[in-house]
Amino acid sequence: MGIRGLTTFIANRSSQYLESYELHDTYLVVDGNSIACQLYKWHCKCNDCFGGDYDKYAAVIKNFFQLLSDCNITPLVVFDGAYEKRKLKTVYSRMRNKISASKDLNSVTEGRISVFPLFLRELFVDIVTTLNIKCLRCDFEGDSESAELARTLGCPIVSFDSDFFIFDVLYIPFSTMQLRLRKRKNVNYLVCEVYRIEKFLNSFGGLDKINLPLLAALLGNDYIKKSAFSVFYRQLKMHKTKQNEQQTQIKSVIVWLKNETPESALRKILGRYKMNHRRTLARRIEKAIGAYQSGESHICSYFNIEKVGDKRGKIIVPKPEDVEDLGQGELEEGEIEDEMSSSEELTPDEPEIEESIPVLKSIIPNFFRENYKKCQYPPSFMDMIMSSTYYFIPLIEDYSLEPCHKISWEIVAAIYKILTSPKTRPLFCVMRNEFSNIKRSPVPAYDREVPKLQELEHMTQQNAQQVLLQILKIDKSFERFPKSWQLFLIAINYWVTNTQKIDLPHVYSLILCAIMLNHVDTKVGFYRSTKSFLSKYNSHNEPAKPSTSTKNIPEALSAIDLSNSVSCAKTLIDYFQMDAKMRCYVKLFDRGIVHDFAQLQSCLLHIKYLNSLLNFPFPNFTISEFYDGTFLYNMTANLRKRTDLKGYMGILLGKCPQILDAFELMAEEIENRVVFNAGRHEPPRKRKKKKKAISHLPETELFSDVSDEEYVFDSNNKFSLLSFVNK
């Protein structure tokens, strides 16, 4: 949720409210949505402008959980679910901000502007489930569920959300967590700082903790804006501080609450409003404070833990009719109308989700609910079921072109029909329009037959595969490839078929990237810096072993050895880094390439969703094993310059024959199966330069000595033959 200004208020007084803590030998509740973002923001050195370096992000996530394991910490990860209506204004605002940032992001602004990639949370979930870490996806927002779990276990919770300053839990702000293993005697631990609610209360002379939910409401959160309490703030005695107005108000509210009970405070607040506004405000205050009070929750039973209730007791909002009228203070009636309507401002045309919640269990099969809790499905499935709305995550793309996500409309429409059939309510999507504004638009209905949701539980794998391929209008899967590659290649097929610009340089880059991430990295280790790689392998001069000449793709990939991997890494590792010149000259940044791969990412995400809904007829893929945006951009830009792609690949991979062999087998198979709408690849024509006058040099200068290095003929370079002239 987030309480306006409270994180800054605590941070400015960290010595008072936070204490040093050694984290080890304990359960740890992890706020999954928050930590996924914080790990990327503070610990992942990625080039955001290329759409996502997922291999680098995956390494950061794995390192985080390895550190927890080394300290004998058992993580319990809790993820948020669908959006509640109170969150929609925040959702729209964040989408607008992300679109604005994405438009300004390029190779020069990289570093100053940060934009989360499309698969950020999806990859975090994939790694959590792959590592067999216990996790749960809540139906809706998970803050109160996480707090209840931490309170029951008596363990800390790690997040970066100011709401946890209000919950009565041991809270570790992620910003205080040092991700470096410390050792003391026989104990491994992580250094961090912990917030204890008692220290906060005592610093104000014994503020009653039961008042904290009311404090959160008065400061403003997702349920209610602070502007709804303008009458209250105009009459509140302000305590002098050196901070800004917001920080001064926070301290003044806390001091005021110290001498009030919840009932007396609420009567003084509500009594300033006339009855019609009083009822509205009372109802919204009740919702705002209810978010912090223990209610009906099944999270503890899900983790087989006996629930412990919140000892604070609950705040009862007095009935508006029983509140004494204290007058309206300084505000006129019209001003009150403005403040209340401003506070109640909601995103238009959205259905009321809260009214649908009681119906949830009756319309969703048990197997679906269980799979949803286990994070097999994304939260967007619940959005589609509950509100008939799908929120497309903004992409880093070319905003002068049609939105990249349009390529996935039919897939999303098919998913929606499976989830909601036989209902006929139309699906709406929220995404950018051609003017880069957020718009809620109807998605054309999927007009083919699909199985009903109830039928999926007992559907055979073969039938589910046929359903997926029929929806994507693809005849066959890629049986000759390793099973872990097949869904990824199906997505590439769909992408190439449904666009006009994709050609061989894009696909060759994807094959090379996948070989690097799946096979070369496993042999040489994870290196993305040329300097660090060469410090270990520069002296490795063992000749690469020849290829096995097999025609079997899995066998060719399995045959790749260390010597070939080292040679390949020496050749290609620079492609994982941005060209230094590009950081200075925005003209060198080709947003068109980024746009092409943004379309692919949209296909990958939504085909992955469809596959999960059909209970994984094809093995799931993890994006970090196939996709590094920097590598794909650099390699595609390089290959587009070449006239003879196959000849150039022979030169590029000439020193690693096993990898060249595997690459050629895969490239041939894909070219035989996929129809490219872009036609034959042709490099861009270069502008003709004016001929310069030829100076007549002495013969001795024309035939100066050259080194006796070995020459290689490059068919892509028309001047390459000059290297064979007898000098």
* Domain that includes residue 598, residue range: 494-673
Are both 597 and 621 inside the same structural domain?
yes
Q: Which are the contacts of 404, defined by CB distance < 8 A and separation ≥ 6?
A: 395, 397, 595, 598, 599, 601, 602
Residue 20: is its pLDDT beyond 50? yes
Are both 325 and 196 inside the same structural domain?
no
Per-residue model confidence as pLDDT tens digits over 470-498: 999 998 889 999 999 999 999 999 999 99
Query: Cα–Cα distance between 35 and 121 in angstroms, integer?
Result: 10
| Alpha-carbon distance values, 119 to 88, 394, 433, 598, 610 (Å) | 21, 11, 21, 11, 15
Query: Cα–Cα distance between 578 and 241 in angstroms, integer?
Result: 47
Query: Cα–Cα distance between 388 and 40 in angstroms, integer?
Result: 31
- The one-letter amino acid at 712: V
Are both 381 and 446 inside the same structural domain?
yes
What is the average per-residue pLDDT within 653-668? 97
Q: Let me know if residue 709 belongs to a domain.
A: no
What is the average per-residue pLDDT within 241-250? 85
Local structure of 206: helix, strand or coil: coil
Residue 699: is its pLDDT beyond 80? no
Residue 701: is its pLDDT beyond 50? no
Cα dihedral 169, 173, 179, 184, rounded to 10, equals: -50
Are both 426 and 340 inside the same structural domain?
no
| Alpha-carbon distance values, 93 to 346, 437, 589, 647, 698 (Å) | 11, 11, 28, 50, 70
C-beta of residue 675 within 8 angstroms of C-beta of residue 497: yes
Residue 725: is its pLDDT beyond 70? no
359-392 burial: b if 16+ Cβ within 10 Å, else e: eeeeebeeebeebbbebbbbbbbbbbbbbbbbbb
Q: How confident is the model at residue 86 (pLDDT cuts 50, 70, 90)?
A: confident
| Torsion sign (Cα): 305, 306, 312, 317 | positive
Q: Which residue has the tokens 């949830």?
A: 360
What is the average per-residue pLDDT within 641-647? 94
Residue 17: is its pLDDT beyond 50? yes
Query: Cα–Cα distance between 245 and 492 in angstroms, integer?
Result: 53
Percent of the chain with pLDDT over 70: 87
Local structure of 21: helix, strand or coil: strand
Are both 668 and 555 inside the same structural domain?
yes
- The one-letter amino acid at 72: N
Residue 175's CATH number = 3.40.50.1010
The per-residue pLDDT for 631 is 98
Are both 231 and 190 inside the same structural domain?
no
Q: Let me know if residue 555 belongs to a domain.
A: yes
E strands in 305-392: 389-391
Q: Which are the contacts of 577, defined by CB distance < 8 A and separation ≥ 6?
A: 528, 529, 530, 630
Q: Which of 472, 375, 360, 364 is nearest to 414 (CA)?
A: 472
Are both 529 and 660 inside the same structural domain?
yes
Are both 31 and 179 inside the same structural domain?
yes
The per-residue pLDDT for 355 is 47
Q: How confident is the model at residue 696 (pLDDT cuts 50, 70, 90)?
A: very low
Q: Let me know if residue 485 belongs to a domain.
A: no
What is the average per-residue pLDDT within 685-699? 51
Length reported for the chain? 727
Q: Let me know if residue 482 belongs to a domain.
A: no
Are both 236 and 132 inside the same structural domain?
no
| Alpha-carbon distance values, 193 to 18, 26, 134, 173, 441 (Å) | 6, 15, 24, 7, 46
Are both 239 and 210 inside the same structural domain?
yes
Q: How confident is the model at residue 691 (pLDDT cuts 50, 70, 90)?
A: low
Query: Cα–Cα distance between 214 and 228 in angstroms, integer?
Result: 14
Q: Let me know if residue 364 belongs to a domain.
A: yes
Q: Which of 320, 210, 222, 176 is nearest to 2 (CA)?
A: 222
Mean pLDDT, rounded, of the chain: 88
Q: Of 150, 183, 201, which residue is a domain's last?
A: 201
Angle between helices 504-515 and 629-639 (to 10 degrees): 140
Q: Let me know if residue 598 belongs to a domain.
A: yes
**How large is the C-alpha radius of gyration of the chain?**
30
Q: Which of 420, 478, 408 is nearest to 450 (CA)?
A: 420
C-beta of residue 6 within 8 angstroms of C-beta of residue 226: no
Q: Which residue has the tokens 């995956």?
A: 58
Q: How confident is the model at residue 540 (pLDDT cuts 50, 70, 90)?
A: confident
Q: How confident is the model at residue 192 (pLDDT cuts 50, 70, 90)?
A: very high
The per-residue pLDDT for 721 is 47
Q: Let me know if residue 303 belongs to a domain.
A: yes
What is the average per-residue pLDDT within 523-540? 94
The total number of structural domains that make up the chain: 4
Residue 712: is its pLDDT beyond 50? no
Bond prior to 117 in cis (omega within 30° of 0): no
Are both 170 and 197 inside the same structural domain?
yes
The per-residue pLDDT for 203 is 87
Are both 508 and 378 inside the same structural domain?
no
The angle formed by the CA atoms of residues 518, 524 and 529, to the nearest 5 degrees, is: 95
Between 399-413, 418-432, 592-606, the lowest mean confidence (pLDDT) is in 418-432
Residue 541: is its pLDDT beyond 70? yes
Per-residue model confidence as pLDDT tens digits over 24-76: 999 999 999 999 999 999 999 999 999 999 999 999 999 999 999 999 999 99
Q: Of 443, 458, 473, which residue is a domain's last?
A: 458
- DSSP β-bridge partners for residue 159: 173
Q: Let me know if residue 473 belongs to a domain.
A: no
C-beta of residue 139 within 8 angstroms of C-beta of residue 375: no
Q: Of 673, 688, 718, which residue is a domain's last?
A: 673
Per-residue model confidence as pLDDT tens digits over 203-222: 888 788 999 999 999 999 88
Q: How confident is the model at residue 706 (pLDDT cuts 50, 70, 90)?
A: very low
Residue 358: is its pLDDT beyond 80? no
Per-residue model confidence as pLDDT tens digits over 323-346: 888 765 544 444 445 455 544 444
What is the average per-residue pLDDT within 3-25? 93
What is the average per-residue pLDDT within 682-695? 57
